A and B are shown apart, each in its own frame.
Chain A
Amino acid sequence: MITLQWVYLLAGTVFAIFAALGLRDRTNARRYGNAAFWGLMALSMWAGDRLGDFGNGLLVLALVAIAGLGGLSRGTGNDQSAQRAERAARFGNGLFVIALVIPLTALAGTFVFKALPALVEPNQATLVSLALGVLLALSLGYARLRPAPLVPFQEGRRLMDSVGWAALLPQMLASLGAVFALAGVGDVVGQLVQQGIPEGSRLGAVLAYGLGMALFTMVMGNAFAAFPVMITAIGLPVLIRGYGGDPAVVCAVGMLAGFCGTLMTPMAANFNLVPAALLELEDKYAVIKAQVWTALPLLAVNIALIYLFAFR
């Protein structure tokens, strides 16, 4: 049976190759920092389950120390744009075929593995399919484009170094969410929100619920973390039980009000900061800025939807 452990093994190997290649990159003034950083990521993927909780904690502190004290940089590399244009003409649209192998495998795997629960653990089908898609695309790439063996990993490492420590942010923020949960941050926020609801005003309660979802999502970076808090504080006691609101509308649209918050916060790093790094944008908040004027009107729409349709 293929489990997530296999995928971690693969991911660890990829990070280890990035680390080894980084060590040899003499154009990078901080190559030891880069090698140590990706090497620790490889260790986490390979052996995370054997390090123990405290050991994993120390591993995180080491990663943060390297990144936080400016230990990461990137090589100067060489510009090969003329070469790229020539190859683009030679390989033509076959490049798109290889690019589409990953999403198509993810798509096919999601269906096939769901039907074969003995082969792959069903709730891990997506990640296993993604890994499988990468292996397929890579094999096809080697067969069709005939690069030197290390070329994909050299190029991949270049991209990885340009993303840098931002690559780790989503995982770090998810971990912070777990510490918040342990410390009971959600309960305290829930109590605060309850005190802030205007007495006897249905509109006020809907506003507090919708805005609270968006704001607390912005703080937590994740609507899933905000939702139980807001439902327990306002959604259930006030909107559903107090005013007799339809739970389907209150919950479904409330969650989407939270998603509007996700569009506006650096805490949702994998959606907002990582793409800025991946696209090499000057301003790391550029993606958030591009989203604000979609998110705000949409938040107003969601609040209006709850007010108009939950209490028919």
Chain B
Amino acid sequence: MWVLLGIVVIVAGFVLRFNPLLVIVAAASVTGIAAGLDLSAIIAAFGKAFNDARYISIVWIVLPVIGLLEANGLQERARALIGRMKGATVGRLLTGYLLFRQLTSAVGLTSVAGHAQTVRPLVAPMAEAAAGEQSDEVRAMAAATDNVGLFFGEDIFLAIGSILLMKGLLEQYGIILEPFELSVWAIPTAIAAFLIHGFRLWRFDRRSRPAA
């Protein structure tokens, strides 16, 4: 039971807004001590996991390309492109991006887009251009739309990690399922996600531009 103290540390640390890196190390220490590990074993366990998880931080190598393009006016260009389109609104633009992200993820192309690759250099400035102002709210909505599109598209693809995880886990309990049987059940939620988030984007337009 005491190992749950780590979760308490995490929640309290995030609520009190301590530096999250410190919170994580504190939570790992508390959890490890509660589980009866000594300090050097905890440090080694965390170090091993950190080293195994290095692939997560590889994505930052795109920054020199994004930086070069932004120094040459990529964001300005993205804004200009949207500025010339008649009838472009934040809602319509992001609904289109949502559909694009869901469809590409559904065929396994999850790494075609992302926060570093597409949202920061292209989607966010385009959305701001459509809004006609710089706005944290618009940029946050652009990032949110990317997440929703990815999460509720990717599970339709047969070979994505979560489908394979489910198949593997069920096999341990003697239940044999084909990936297709699982992925087809991601479709109703994908449609619901498009409708719910699309509705919110439509309302976003209504709120920011009240009928004249």
Contacts and interface: CB of A to CB of B under 8 A. Distances in A.
A152 B64 contact: yes
Contact of B50 (A103, A138, A171, A298): A171
Contact of B143 (A171, A249, A276): A276
B16 interface: no
Interface in A265-312: 266-267, 269-276, 278-279, 281-283, 286-287, 289-291, 293-294, 297-298, 301-302, 305, 309
B61 interface: yes
B7 A185 contact: yes
A102 interface: yes
Interface in B179-207: 181-186, 188-189, 192-193, 196-197, 200
B196 A61 contact: no
A91 B111 CA distance: 27
Interface string A74-100: 000000100011111101110110110
B58 to A, nearest CB: 5
Interface residues of A, number: 137
Nearest to A155: B67
Given A44-B50, A263-B151, 16 more contacts: A7-B58, A51-B47, A53-B45, A56-B50, A84-B75, A88-B72, A88-B76, A158-B67, A167-B60, A174-B49, A176-B46, A253-B189, A256-B151, A275-B119, A279-B142, A291-B147
B54 A110 contact: no
A129 B19 CA distance: 34
A153 B65 CA distance: 8
Interface string B117-158: 111111010000000000011011111101110011001000
Contacts, number: 397
Which 9 interchain pairs have the tightest Cβ spacing?
Answer: A88-B73, A155-B67, A57-B47, A56-B47, A57-B43, A178-B49, A183-B35, A156-B64, A252-B185
A98 B140 contact: no
A68 B140 contact: no
Contacts of B63: 14, 156-157, 159-160
B165 to A, nearest CB: 6
A234 interface: no
Contacts of B118: 103
A145 B65 contact: no
Nearest to A140: B65
A213 to B, nearest CB: 12
B14 to A, nearest CB: 5
B208 interface: no
B12 interface: no
A224 B136 contact: no
Contacts of A223: 162
A188 B32 contact: no
24 contacts: A8-B58, A48-B51, A84-B72, A96-B78, A134-B65, A169-B24, A170-B57, A172-B20, A179-B45, A188-B1, A219-B7, A219-B11, A227-B165, A247-B175, A256-B189, A266-B20, A275-B119, A275-B146, A279-B119, A287-B140, A287-B147, A291-B147, A293-B200, A305-B189
A263 B147 contact: yes
Interface residues of B, number: 112
A67 B139 CA distance: 26
Contacts of B185: 248-249, 252-253, 309
Contacts of A51: 47, 51
A182 interface: yes
Interface in A28-79: 41, 44-45, 48-49, 51-61, 63-64, 67-68
B178 to A, nearest CB: 9
B117 A271 contact: no
A134 B120 CA distance: 16
B99 interface: no
A249 B61 CA distance: 39
Interface in B20-47: 20-22, 24-25, 27-28, 31-32, 34-35, 37, 40, 42-47
B51 A56 contact: yes
Given A60-B47, A286-B136, A271 B147 contact: yes
Contacts of B47: 51-60
A239 interface: no
For A44, A157, A185, A290, which residue has the most chain B Cβ atoms within 10 angstroms? A290
